[in-house]
Amino acid sequence: MERVTEIKAREKLAVAAIRSMVIDVTNNANSGHPGMALDATPALYALYRDHLVADPEHPYWINRDRFVLSAGHCSALLYSMLHVAGYKISIEDLHSFRQVGSKTPGHPEFGMTEGVDATSGPLGQGIAQAVGMAIAEKNISATYPDGAKVMNHYTYCLCGDGCLQEGVSQEAISLAGHLRLNKLILIYDENGATLDGPTSDSFTENVKLRFMASEWNVIEVKDGDSVDAVSKAIEKAKKSICFPTLILMHTTIGIGSKHAGDHVTHGAPLGKEDGEFAKKSYGYDYPEFTIPAEVYEEMRNTFAARGKKAYAAYEDALSEYESFHPDEFKRLVDAFDRNVEKYLPERVEYSKDYKKATRITSGEYITRMVNSIPFTLGGSADVAGSTKTSVKGVAMFSAEHPEGRDMHYGIREFEMASAMNGELLHGGLVSYAAAFLIFSDYLKPAIRMSALEHLPAIYIFTHDTIALGEDGPTHQPIEQLAMLRSIPGNVVWRPADPKEVEAAYEFALMRKDGPTCLVLTRQSVPTLDNTDVDKAKFGAYKVFTPNGPAIGQVIATGSEVSLAIDSARILESRGIFVEVVSMPSMELFRKQDKEYRNSILHFPYSKRISLEMLSTFGWGEFAGHCIGIDRFGESGKGNEVMEQLGFSVDDVALKIAGALKGE
């Protein structure tokens, strides 16, 4: 009984200390979101003290439990918790919360701060990524012999109302339930307030029922302010052998503050007066930015000790694993280090007769890739048949076949991409995801996240122009390629033929620090004479030199490279000589030195003409004249739509000639 009283007292002190730190941190920065951070403190404390298995000494330990703060605006709580838990966040770091150059930015950023397992803040994407982590855990555990010895952890996530209102959360919840991700535990902090007012102004759904509809366990915690109650709920959730679990926890926003329960505490620091009022209500009487020694001590004895022990045990188990399964051990290490080079499929020679859509060549590459890299996991958003991502003999990843490596994400593009991000944050997999280029619109926020998190995501976008035909303007991409190219850190490839497809995949697989988008045709393209796997990686290079003194050059990508060459040949027969440059990747070309760039784009600006059956937006950087499509498409047969919009070989030749005359 005394023991219980003692624990309760320590617990109360710890929660008060962390809450007070949240108040100090946000007050000091005069910025940040204390409201939910305060009410979620007991839950996070319960998670770290009693459950989370992770080791601050080895923050990227591959078998640690993952924790994603989907409500990224509560970063002050996460940083305070990580500080208390022994991660490398000092009091000084907390002092410089939300300041330039600090490791405590406004929203958690993966790779910047040890203990932060995901970038979060754009609402919904935390949950969406956590689902990917749980997929990775399940898949890795199932694909290695005795896999539970190398991979066996939980994925936790904390969210608020905002995340659940965003559509992507439903895609994530639905997929997680379908896939029976039983080791995924989501804590929903139901505090009744959003930025603009009480949640009930815009959100009155029965969340419990909604999760049950998606085949989740639901545990309701009436008093989210009780560390004990939340801890017991997590304990119960961990025992799930089939379904993911939602812990629906009722709390009071800004608890302790004069405005407790009011949405005004959501977005603004409490300020000095209310901050002191709140600390008093917690019974906390320490100077600012102070954590009592016994609070640190408690976390050392619980969280840190548990993590240290688990890490050591894992190291032992891994040594043993190495001796029993040396090959698989090496594979595991390679997978987590993304040592892809030695698994790369051998290059294929393409004969001149090879004439296929680049999506078909891509499908062939995927088959070779999946067969030669044993740790791939990828698929599509219900367009495997069209994007050619399925590989013969490879099982669909499912509850029954967690060793399956073919992902059926369903018609959920955004979650597909976010799950891929989660898989890559988790590590141990080469992931890829496919959709029609037009639906890059639906998952764009996740590509940005891949880039922010420096994840080597591989996006495969097929059906890349109006040439896709009958599906018409709703399905014909125009501005999507420009959108992809504008994302910082994203590398976009639009290969002209099978050799450039090969180059694109090699690049994407070898990349370690950011996403790559492959943009592919629905229709067949010829294998070109002068394309080259290695040269393509420079981003742009010459592929056609006319039989006469060139007066300009056409810069084309993808299916338009052969169109440009055909047009240049027609012009050649009329005594107008133009070069053709293939530019499969603007981003890679920009990275070349000035000498190379000038050697490729060696004509004056006004004599450079871009050719792409997509928006001309962005081409002004390279070409003084742009041939493209700055309107929506048309429903009709692919070649007829091309004709209609001025992309017959003859029309293009005329346009090029006109542009060179300065028309």
341 classed as catalytic: no
Q: Does 42 bind a second copy (CB under 8 A)?
A: no
Q: Does 408 bind a second copy (CB under 8 A)?
A: yes
For a second copy, the closer CB: 6 or 400: 400
State the Cα angle at 530 between 524 and 533, rounded to 5°: 80
Of 5-13, 342-350, 611-619, 650-658: span binding a second copy (CB under 8 A): 611-619
**H or E segment to which residue 587 belongs:** helix 586-591
Of 133-141, 196-204, 231-239, 550-558: span binding a second copy (CB under 8 A): 196-204
- Residue ranges with strand state E in 381-422: 406-408
Q: Does 197 bind a second copy (CB under 8 A)?
A: yes
Of 160-168, 253-261, 571-579, 648-656: span binding a second copy (CB under 8 A): 160-168
Query: Which of 57, 114, 220, 382 is in the footprint of a second copy by CB under 8 A?
Result: 382
Shortest CB 634 distance to a second copy, Å: 6
Q: Does 244 bind a second copy (CB under 8 A)?
A: no
Dist CA 526 CA 524 (whole Å): 7
Q: Does 464 bind a second copy (CB under 8 A)?
A: no
For a second copy, how many residues bind (rule: CB under 8 A)? Answer: 111
**H or E segment to which residue 517 belongs:** strand 516-519
- The answer to whether 48 and 162 have CB atoms below 8 angstroms apart is no
Shortest CB 643 distance to a second copy, Å: 8
- The answer to whether 620 and 612 have CB atoms below 8 angstroms apart is no
Q: Does 233 bind a second copy (CB under 8 A)?
A: no
For the segment 277-306, give every residue that binds a second copy (CB under 8 A).
none
Q: Does 152 bind a second copy (CB under 8 A)?
A: no
For a second copy, the closer CB: 171 or 423: 171
Of 11-19, 36-44, 369-377, 383-391: span binding a second copy (CB under 8 A): 383-391
Using CA of residue 593, residue 594, residue 599, residue 603, what is the dihedral sign? positive
Query: Which of 2, 205, 285, 353 is in the footprint of a second copy by CB under 8 A?
Result: 205
List the one residue out of 230, 231, 229, 283 whose CA is nearest residue 256. Answer: 283
Query: Which of 644, 648, 649, 657 is in the footprint of a second copy by CB under 8 A?
Result: 644
Q: Does 374 bind a second copy (CB under 8 A)?
A: no
Shortest CB 95 distance to a second copy, Å: 14
* Residues 6+ positions from 7 with CB-CB distance below 8 Å: none
- 587 Rama class: left (phi>0) / alpha (psi -120 to 50) / beta: alpha
Shortest CB 116 distance to a second copy, Å: 12
Query: Which of 13, 168, 430, 491 is in the footprint of a second copy by CB under 8 A?
Result: 168
**Assigned token pair, 240:** 């799930």
The 3-state DSSP class for residue 455 equals coil
β-bridge pairing 524-526 and 516-519: unpaired
β-bridge pairing 406-408 and 376-380: parallel
Of 353-361, 412-420, 500-508, 545-553: span binding a second copy (CB under 8 A): 412-420
Q: Does 513 bind a second copy (CB under 8 A)?
A: no
Query: Which of 92, 201, 327, 650 is in the footprint of a second copy by CB under 8 A?
Result: 201
For the segment 67-126, give every residue that binds a second copy (CB under 8 A).
72, 98-102, 105-107, 109, 119-124
Of 26-34, 526-534, 563-571, 572-580: span binding a second copy (CB under 8 A): 26-34
Query: Which of 641, 652, 656, 659 is in the footprint of a second copy by CB under 8 A?
Result: 641
For the segment 315-344, give every residue that binds a second copy (CB under 8 A).
none
**H or E segment to which residue 652 belongs:** helix 649-660
For a second copy, the closer CB: 10 or 475: 475
First to last CA, the chain: 91
Q: Does 53 bind a second copy (CB under 8 A)?
A: no
**Assigned token pair, 502:** 């090969």
List the one residue out of 404, 413, 474, 479 whose CA is nearest residue 446. Answer: 413
Residue 663 CB coordination number (10 Å): 9
Q: Does 602 bind a second copy (CB under 8 A)?
A: no
Q: Does 385 bind a second copy (CB under 8 A)?
A: yes
What's phi and psi for 432, nearest 5 deg? Answer: -145, 155
Shortest CB 610 distance to a second copy, Å: 10
Dist CA 630 CA 203 (whole Å): 40
Q: Does 137 bind a second copy (CB under 8 A)?
A: no
- The answer to whether 20 and 277 have CB atoms below 8 angstroms apart is no
Of 348-356, 422-430, 466-474, 556-564: span binding a second copy (CB under 8 A): 466-474
Q: Which residue in the block uniquely carries the two structure tokens 């490729």?
A: 600
Shortest CB 38 distance to a second copy, Å: 19
- The answer to whether 490 and 514 have CB atoms below 8 angstroms apart is yes
Query: Which of 28, 139, 174, 245 is in the footprint of a second copy by CB under 8 A?
Result: 174
Q: Does 29 bind a second copy (CB under 8 A)?
A: yes
CB under 8 Å, gap of 24 or more: what pairs does 397-405 form? 397/135, 397/139, 397/179, 398/179, 399/178, 399/179, 399/180, 402/138, 402/139, 402/141, 402/142, 403/139, 403/142, 403/143, 404/139, 405/139, 405/143, 405/370, 405/376, 405/377, 405/378
For a second copy, the closer CB: 211 or 314: 211
**Assigned token pair, 108:** 């958690």
**Sheet with strand 430-436: strands edge to edge:** 406-408, 376-380, 430-436, 458-462, 516-519, 491-493
Shortest CB 537 distance to a second copy, Å: 21
Query: Which of 451, 467, 564, 601 is in the footprint of a second copy by CB under 8 A?
Result: 451
One-letter amino acid of 637: K
Of 14-22, 167-175, 314-322, 549-557: span binding a second copy (CB under 8 A): 167-175
Task: Tell me, residue by residue from 471 to 500, as one string, x for binding to a second copy by CB under 8 A and - for no binding.
Answer: xxxxx--xx--xx-xxxxx-----------
Which among 166, 413, 453, 506 is annotated as catalytic? Answer: 413
Q: Does 167 bind a second copy (CB under 8 A)?
A: yes
For a second copy, the closer CB: 231 or 380: 380
Q: Which residues are catalytic?
A: 413
